[in-house]
Structure 1
Amino acid sequence: MSDHVVPSPDLWKSVDALWAWLEADQPDQPVGGREGLLLRMLKLSEEVGEVSEAVIGAMGQNPRKGVSHSWEDVQGELCDVVITALVALRTLTPDPREVFHGHLSRVTERSLGHRPG
């Protein structure tokens, strides 16, 4: 039986649960402090690389491997990027929901603005 609690499907509760799990004293994560923070941010680059690998695989663009991934694999890797980014944001602020929604509002307004009807 696992000691882990299955996170709620609620996005922000799940982000908090994943962040708490990463913040727990884990023997296989010896780097903490500023270095640990930097490594958590760099994890995003790793995940984005996995998206690239999946797209190349889905399109069969590696002659040695051929078609090695599906578009469903790409979707999963994109989800990993989003999850990793939200957990990284939670690492930087105790209220990632407010920060994210505020930023999303600004980007939406800047991008879509008020269009003539």
Structure 2
Amino acid sequence: MNPSVRQTIEALARHFDDHDDQLGLTPHEQWTLQVLKLAEETGEAAQAVIGARGTNPRKKHIPADWSDVHAEVADVVITGLVALQRMRPDDAAAYLREQLASKAEKFLPAPAAPAEPRAV
């Protein structure tokens, strides 16, 4: 994770931890609420897609505006990073790198082996 991004995520996580600590919530209660917040943000992203596609028959069709979708997806990513930081404050960045590498290995083709030099 980029250092400035990591610092911001860490600061947000501390802020939300402090807030929830003042409410007397246990760490597991805090994590549960943070994951529910992630689900809420995902729902807002889905709602923005439905709006951009104009597929809600109860609402007037508005031309597609994907900027709201972009903003909601960013909210999902930020909320997910904050959730991970709150649950793994000591190694969130390293854990994320490991998970990303694991997913990349699973879904992306292996890099091609370098070609053997030909004898001349």
Report the TM range for the smaller structure's normalisation.
Answer: 0.7 to 0.9
Please give the per-residue CA displacement for 1:21-73, whole angstroms capped at 9, x wherever unaligned: 1112369x736112222111111110110011000000111122222872000
- Residue pairs, 1:20-31, within 5 angstroms: 20-25=14-19, 30=23
The structure showing larger relative contact order (alpha-carbon pairs under 8 Å, at least 6 residues apart) is 2
* 1:103 aligned partner: 99
Task: Tell me which amino acid in the other structure corresponds to 2:48.
Answer: A
Identity of aligned residues (%): 38
Normalised by the length of structure 2, the TM-score is: 0.78
* 1:91 aligned partner: 86
* 2:69 aligned partner: 74
Gaps of 5+ in 2: 114-120
Gaps of 5+ in 1: 1-8
* Matched positions, count: 108
Instruction: Detail structure 1 runs of 4+ shifted over 3 Å in the superposition.
Output: none
Structure having the higher helix fraction is 2
Q: Secondary structure at the match of 1:10?
A: helix
RMSD: 2.4
Normalised by the length of structure 1, the TM-score is: 0.80
* 2:25 aligned partner: 32
* 1:55 aligned partner: 49
